[in-house]
Amino acid sequence: MGSMEGKIVRSCISAALSDFYHLHIDYSTRVVLHSRDSKGDPLHALSSALHLLENIKVEAIIGAQTRVEANLLANLGEAAKVPILSFSEPSSPLPLNDDRYAFSVGIAQDETSQVMGINAIIEVFKWKDVILLYDNTEYGNDMIPTLASFFQQKNVYIAHKSCIAISSTNEQIFEELQTLMKLKTKVFVVHISHLLVPRLFSNVNKLGMMSEGYTWILTSASMNFLHFMDSKVIESMQGVVGLKSYIPVSTRLQNLTSKVRNKLYMKDPNMKVSELSADKIWVYDATWALAEAIEKASTKNSSRSKHGVVLLREILQRRFKGLSGEIQFPKGKLISGTLEIVNVIGKEARRVGFWFFEEKTEKAQSHILNNGRNLLLSNHLKTIRWPGGSKRQLSSEIKLRIGVPVRVGFKELVRVEHDLQTNRTNVTGFSIDVFKIAISALPYKVHYEFFPFENENGVMAGTYSDLVYQVYLKNYDAVVGDITITSNRSQYVDFTMPYTDLGVGMLVPNQKDMWIFLKPLSAYLWITSACFFILTGFIVWVIESPVNQEFQGTPLQQIGTILWFSFSTLVFAHRERILSNLAKFVVIIWMFVVLILTSNYTATLASMMTVKQIQMDSIGNYIGYQSGSLGVIVNLNFKGMKPYRSAEEYADALSKESKHGGVSAIIDELPYINIFRAKYSSDYSIIKTKSITNGLAFAFPKGSKLVEDLSTQIRHMREEGQLLDLEKTWFHRKTSLMPDDSMEDNNMSSPSNTLGLHDFLGLFLVSGVSSAVALFVFLIFSQTFRNLIKGQLQQIGGRLQRLRMFLSNVIST
């Protein structure tokens, strides 16, 4: 009560009771005010409240200016079933439990309105990056998480949070502001006590942070007390925009201000009150509501044990036109529907607009809170004079210093050219165009300038990882180019979603060999196959010739039939009709062997016609890769790896092959392989391998809001085909360069091997055994064959007999 604040509050409560009963003379109840001094000590406030409850038997308590006092008195009110009208809202350990402090009624403006008002200003001017500056008081700390949550819903990035203690010295505040000056963000949202404002803005002006380009947004925690501040303090805040609780000017308000001023002047002539702050008006209205509720509760004839519950219900049901506007306490909180947006100009805060919080039903309130809808529009605001005297309407203009790599090869991605005549540096390429299109589609302006990462000789000043690390060191605000996403780099920066294919590929020259059709099968397999063709034909002839005229004829005709029948089974074109079941059995088994053999031959030949057969680990074979490539490629455990820098060097090395000083294959990320094949597509082929890289993307500082926004635009570009159009423009792509799924080889091994005899030994064994069995059965059970053999033997015997007789005659002669 010894403070100026306490004296004004007590005068407002007394004035409210006086005015209320002057207007309601006929009321049967009278509220008697019993004052106790908390002396700024929460425990003393609790002791005084206990004394009032036990000895005076009070029916309600008004007080609790701090959060600690609010917590203590809220628990006391719950135990005693007595309404506590609190300046500060108690912090509940169970935020989802609305009944935790049912007897606590907040008579100050709900912080949700404050948070949504700040968020509305940020949204109108489309600021995407802000710095939060607050004090270490409970009021300051408690509102920041709510404010941060609303910013997150609106995709506003909090570049930094700075907490300044009330007890901080000027030197400490100066040092903290120096740290904030180094940040790129120049929009400050300040939520501090009015007691800290003079020291803060004194140091802000010393550092030149009230110049053009800076923006300061203050909450009502400071702006509601602007009229109490010294004129020099107000002059140091020129250009500040803030929220102020709106109190409509009325005759009643003027009378109250005059009454309080005169009463305090009579007690202390040095105490001057020019106007009453919003929280004093809320106390006046809350006292009015309490007096009305007590009158209504007295008519309920409730017992003393239930009187507190009845009184609380009546307070929560009050709804009337007070000095501060429409007064109501739904869920135990004061809902104030309007905030004033003010701009500090000269020695006063000039109103430039309003923020309206409309609530008609509980459902409507939920809709507003969840979706952040409000009635603040940019065209409703008057011209604002910003720090530095500028009247321009600031927008979310972000300025970026962007580092780009300086490539020797594959300049289709990034090309850096220096124009000596104009002294300009032109940066073009596929990656640059993707960035420009994505950044131009954002709902806010982003100004950027490209800076090649090069030394005085025009050569890249380090590796790609060194370039990315410059963002972490804050030498660049972003890196744009063919930057591969890696886990190590992600420790220092955030990447957008990739705008290229993922993984690495193996590039090999297509096979050119006039005898390639012989290579799918080994020599032994060719010889064995030919022998089995002839053997099968012979066995079929043996079985069929005695009964089938198509297998009979002169010896030459029968030999031709054997060869024709056996080899025509390759294409299933044999025309001879088979009569014997044994021969059919032999042919069925052989046709199965031919089917398997031809299928594997076709698959192996097709693979060889597409991709040259190489053995990665064989002596004399070299693998090429891009110079300065990722360790994940260099460390693939291939023997004899050679670095190259451009697509032209790739082509030259592949054409020479390993035996002439070149390489047998190239391993690189798919974007570079695609560029190469766009130039040499007819001579080379690609094998898709493991996705061991994550594609190319853009790098930004950790937590940058641009990462999410640009990723969204890249996703849209991919869906709408813009990325494909850019690829066709820069790479001259006529067809998709994605590897064929049929050529996928996740082990990065040779795609095929020559088929050997051992691979088909089982098939030949089955065919041979089947033919032997058929021949054996035929010889044992075929009567025709036995007659044929018998006839042949008889002919041979007759011929031998004639020969013997001939020889006897010769000898006799």
The pTM assigned to this predicted structure is 0.56
| Residue 744 pLDDT grade (very low, low, confident, very high; cuts 50, 70, 90) | very low
Quick one: DSSP state of residue 224? T
Longest dimension (CA), the chain: 181
Most confidently predicted of 338-342, 626-630, 638-642: 338-342
pLDDT at 692 over 70: yes
Average pLDDT over residues 730-759: 49
pLDDT number for residue 23: 92
* More confident call, 306 vs 379: 306
CA distances from 318 to 105, 301, 741 (A): 12, 19, 73
* More confident call, 170 vs 762: 170
Summarised one tens digit per residue, pLDDT across range 294-327 is: 999 888 766 666 888 999 999 999 888 888 888 8
pLDDT at 363 over 50: no
pLDDT number for residue 201: 93
Q: Which residues contact 371 (CB under 8 A, 6 or more apart)?
A: none
* More confident call, 555 vs 63: 63
How far apart are the C-alpha atoms of 595 and 126, rounded to whole Å?
71
pLDDT number for residue 481: 92
Q: Pairing relation of β-strands 424-428 and 665-669?
A: unpaired
| Residue 740 pLDDT grade (very low, low, confident, very high; cuts 50, 70, 90) | very low
Mean pLDDT, the chain, whole residue set: 80
- Residues 227/277, Cβ–Cβ less than 8 Å: yes
pLDDT at 361 over 50: no
pLDDT number for residue 579: 76
How far apart are the C-alpha atoms of 451 and 422, rounded to whole Å?
16
- For 212-232, b/e burial (b = at least 16 CB within 10 A) is eebbbbbbbbbbbbbeebeee
Sign of CA dihedral 699, 703, 704, 706: positive
pLDDT at 592 over 90: no
How far apart are the C-alpha atoms of 176 and 129, rounded to whole Å?
19
| Residue 177 pLDDT grade (very low, low, confident, very high; cuts 50, 70, 90) | very high
Quick one: DSSP state of residue 53? I
Q: Pairing relation of β-strands 446-452 and 398-404?
A: parallel
Average pLDDT over residues 20-42: 91
Sign of CA dihedral 279, 280, 281, 282: positive
Average pLDDT over residues 454-471: 89
* More confident call, 798 vs 455: 455
- Amino acid letter for position 478: A
pLDDT number for residue 751: 41
pLDDT number for residue 739: 41
Q: Pairing relation of β-strands 61-63 and 84-86?
A: parallel
pLDDT at 796 over 90: no
pLDDT at 630 over 60: no
Single out the residue of 403, 325, 339, 328 nearest to residue 361, CA to CA.
328
- Residues 799/791, Cβ–Cβ less than 8 Å: no
- Residue 291, classed as helix, strand or coil, is helix
Q: Which two tokens stand for residue 478?
A: 């972003």
Q: What are phi and psi of 644, to 5 degrees?
A: -140, 165
How far apart are the C-alpha atoms of 22 and 259, rounded to whole Å?
15
How far apart are the C-alpha atoms of 289 and 275, rounded to whole Å?
22
Average pLDDT over residues 111-131: 84
Percent of the chain topping pLDDT 90:
25
Q: Which two tokens stand for residue 524?
A: 């032994």
pLDDT number for residue 574: 63
pLDDT number for residue 742: 37
Q: Which two tokens stand for residue 194?
A: 């009015």
Q: Pairing relation of β-strands 338-345 and 241-245?
A: antiparallel
pLDDT at 747 over 60: no
pLDDT number for residue 609: 60
* More confident call, 272 vs 429: 429
| Residue 711 pLDDT grade (very low, low, confident, very high; cuts 50, 70, 90) | very high
CA distances from 29 to 17, 322, 467 (A): 12, 21, 78
304-318, 331-345, 350-364, 444-458: least confidently modelled range: 350-364
Most confidently predicted of 6-20, 674-688, 695-709, 784-798: 6-20
pLDDT at 360 over 70: no
Percent of the chain topping pLDDT 70:
81
- For 84-95, b/e burial (b = at least 16 CB within 10 A) is bbbbbbbbeeee
Average pLDDT over residues 153-169: 87
How far apart are the C-alpha atoms of 89 and 143, rounded to whole Å?
11
Summarised one tens digit per residue, pLDDT across range 500-549 is: 888 888 877 766 666 666 777 778 888 887 888 888 878 888 777 777 77
How far apart are the C-alpha atoms of 650 and 666, rounded to whole Å?
7
Cα 420-426-431 angle, rounded to 5 deg: 155
Average pLDDT over residues 175-186: 89
pLDDT at 750 over 60: no
pLDDT at 774 over 70: no
Average pLDDT over residues 140-165: 84
* More confident call, 62 vs 745: 62
pLDDT number for residue 614: 47
- Residues 311/39, Cβ–Cβ less than 8 Å: no
Most confidently predicted of 270-274, 330-334, 447-451: 447-451
pLDDT number for residue 247: 85
- Residues 83/53, Cβ–Cβ less than 8 Å: no
Average pLDDT over residues 150-158: 83
Task: Round the CA-based radius of gyration of the chain to a whole number and report it.
Answer: 47
